A and B are shown apart, each in its own frame.
Chain A
Amino acid sequence: MILRQMRRNAIRIEGEHSAALERARGRLVLLGMVFALAYAVIAVRVFDLAVLQGDVPRMEGEVVAADEGLQEKEQVASIRRGDIYDRNGELLATTLKAASLYADPALILEPQKVTQRLARIFPDLDQAQTLKDLEGARRFAWIRRGITPDQQQEILALGEPGLGFEYEDTRIYPQGALATHLVGYADRDGNGLAGVERSYQDVLATGNDLHLTLDLRLQHALRRELGAAVQEFQAIGAAGVILDAQTGEVLAGVSLPDFDINKAGSATDEQEFSRLTLGVYELGSMFKIFSTAALLETVNGSLGQTFDATKPIRIGRFSINDYHAQKRVLTVPEVFMYSSNIGAALMGKTVGTEKLRAFYRDLGLIDPLKFDVREIGSPEVPHPWREASTLTASYGHGISTTPLQLASAAASVVNGGFLVQPKLVAQQDNSGEPEKKVRVISQENSEKMRALWRLVVTQGTAKNADVPGYDIGGKTGTAEKVGARGGYDRKRLISSFVGAFPMNDPKYVVMIMVDEPKGNKKTYGYATAGWVAAPVMAKVVTSMASILGIPADAYDPAKDIVYNLDRYIHDPKHKKGKTLVSYHE
């Protein structure tokens, strides 16, 4: 019994032994299989890498791919600023990736040698500062931001391990100083600081391109001629604009002095100042355009109406005199042609204060101009506006506007009578809705004004503005600047001219203003508008004709609108029986 039990026990023990052995073996096999599998996987992977993918430069691929991810992230973070084009698609502003040079001073062993070599590449480098940076303890120092590819190549050729490049968006203005004050400029971080770069910041910053109404060729011609006038008459500055007489599109707009907008940081205040849109000036006799138009439009005046300009008008302490005194009774065309201050003052008086003011307001001469750049000067009008102000404002004294504003108002008077609102950015919305036209004077009166403008060029103060075959008309304005001690300074003039062509249906309105010109031998010492600004008009029109391909019309005296004014001109010097046209010839 005991034996049996023992045996049974023995069997059990034996059985337990054998079961443990079984398990251990099973585990070993399993382990072995796992190892075998791992080896197999490794073998397969090795085969994959060595044979299947053997032809791919792996390391390079990995590195580039990682780099790419980074670049994409950067691109999402910063949208590239939109480009700016002129009306013909010529590039005015673009954004390029430009290299910026930095140094890691810890990797630079010979700071002095490196500084000297850098100075050879960047002649205007501040060597003392650079040396200090390179010897400093910091691990990063900018040497120069926004360098050219050529410079980058030269630096690479140095083979200096401590110098590296970062690529940043840089604003480039290929046209340099051509349209300084209208295009404006943006800072390194993409914030517009002037011109359309500032006023259209939202559009540009979201990556949209901007198309301006400017024509670079006209812009250049205007800038060149204004620059020549500034030089010839040693003026302190000039401004000019070419407008589409119907749409108010600014085809060219210049303010001198200007500067290369690629180097906006080094511009002086004088250069930054836009005489065209920000400067307000008493532009003098050109206001006779508006007082004459007011006479015709608001009180139904006629061209035959006469004004006694025999003697100066006295108001309190001062008197209104004529520069080209005729000392007789003048008709409206004569007042306009001789630019009689007395006549214009009397016209203003006839119109009356309220109506004149309201008319000026309708033309946009009283409120700040709405325009596509924000550098806009507020007009200075008499405050309070007394009766005497009406007289002086009729010939442009005591009222200051920006040149662009005056050019737009003048365009409104001769384009058929519709208010001109100057535009710099081409309309992008194609809603198809025609713009609402606001009439400021009647078609008939606008045609009368055209004839008067033409008269000034054929007979009056602006003969120098004439270009045969182009039917130019306009009005001069010579104003004295307000002197340092109040009152007017006879030596410091603003000589300006606003003109249009062809006068029988004006397409283009051109405004020229020269700031403080000095007379020279050629002008017999005169610095008045007829001698300074009017010739610029002639040169600009000549250039426009060849650029835009405008053919000259054969001159037909019978078709010259100035002929209509013949019966209003009673110059005693003119012989009886001679017409305006025959004098012109």
Chain B
Amino acid sequence: MKKYWFRHILALAFAIVSGITLMRTSHEVQRTEREIAALEREERAEREEIRVLNAEWAYLNRPERLEALAAQYLELVPPGADQMISSVKDIPDEDIVPPIPPSLPASVARVREISYTVPSAAQGGNQ
């Protein structure tokens, strides 16, 4: 008789444990599915966003626009046909002169004068 009860309790306990496990598992599955769905949704949104950004990038890089911006902000122009060379070797070395302008603009010249006269005056004082 005792053994009989023991079996029943064991079976019941087993049923409860497996029931809980099943529930937990099913719950886990549901949560994971929800997570997957959320990630996929996120991915789709990201892809859509990338497409939009690509389109915007292409729009902002229209040659027409870049040309206008370059003309406005850069002190550079496209090279002329006579400026196109095939390699660095084609640059004539001997023709390169040190980049000192032959005559300085008036404002620059005055600044130089001052910066040179001050030390020379100090020197004169010492002597």
Contacts and interface: CB of A to CB of B under 8 A. Distances in A.
Interface of A: 44, 48, 52-53, 56, 61, 64-65, 68, 90-91, 94-97, 149, 172, 174-176, 178, 216-217, 219-221, 224, 467-470, 541-543, 545-546, 549-552
Nearest to A167: B48
Given A91-B57, A469-B82, 7 more contacts: A61-B34, A90-B58, A91-B54, A174-B56, A219-B63, A549-B84, A551-B86
A96 B27 contact: no
Interface in B46-94: 48, 51-52, 54-59, 61-64, 67, 78-82, 84-87, 90
Contact of B80 (A175, A216, A542): A542
A221 B67 CA distance: 10
B108 to A, nearest CB: 33
B63 A546 contact: no
6 contacts: A53-B31, A68-B37, A91-B58, A175-B59, A220-B67, A469-B84
Contacts of B79: 545-546
Nearest to B38: A64
B84 A65 contact: no
B37 A178 contact: no
Given A96-B51, A172-B55, A552 B81 contact: yes
B11 to A, nearest CB: 16
A52 B55 contact: no
A91 B63 contact: no
A97 B51 CA distance: 9
Given A44-B23, A96-B51, A216-B63, A175 B81 contact: no
Contacts, number: 89
A53 B34 contact: no
A94 B55 contact: yes
A542 B55 contact: no
B34 A48 contact: no
Contacts of B38: 64
B82 A552 contact: yes
The 5 closest A-B pairs by CB, nearest first: A551-B86, A220-B63, A174-B58, A91-B58, A174-B59
A224 B68 CA distance: 12
A65 B37 contact: yes
B110 interface: no
Given A220-B64, A549-B84, A543 B78 contact: yes
B81 A542 contact: yes
Nearest to A469: B81
Contacts of B37: 64-65, 68
A546 B82 contact: no
A48 B58 contact: no
Contact of B84 (A149, A175, A551): A551
Interface string B15-56: 000010001100100110010011001000000100110111
Chain B's interface size range is 20 to 34
Interface of B: 19, 23-24, 27, 30-31, 34, 37-38, 41, 48, 51-52, 54-59, 61-64, 67, 78-82, 84-87, 90
Nearest to B61: A90
A73 B85 CA distance: 58
Contacts of B19: 44
A52 B84 contact: no
A68 B36 CA distance: 12
Contacts of A542: 80-81
A470 B90 CA distance: 16
Contacts of A550: 84
Given A52-B23, A216-B63, A94 B54 contact: yes
Contacts of B48: 96-97
Nearest to A149: B52
A174 B55 contact: yes
A542 B62 CA distance: 20
Contact of B27 (A52, A94, A549): A52
B81 A178 contact: no
Nearest to A547: B78
Contact of B55 (A91, A221, A469, A543): A91
A176 B41 contact: no
A550 B67 CA distance: 20
Contacts of B27: 48, 52-53
A543 B80 CA distance: 8
Nearest to B52: A96
B84 A545 contact: yes
Nearest to B48: A97
A551 B55 contact: no
Contacts of B86: 551
A554 to B, nearest CB: 9
A220 B68 CA distance: 12
A549 B86 CA distance: 8
Contacts of B34: 56, 61, 65
B81 A545 contact: yes
Given A91-B54, A216-B63, A551-B86, A546 B31 contact: no
Most-contacted residue by chain A among B34, B38, B79 (CB, 10 A): B34
Contacts of A149: 52
A61 B84 CA distance: 63
A61 B82 CA distance: 67
Nearest to A541: B81
Contacts of A541: 81
A217 B85 contact: no
Contacts of B63: 178, 216-217, 219-221
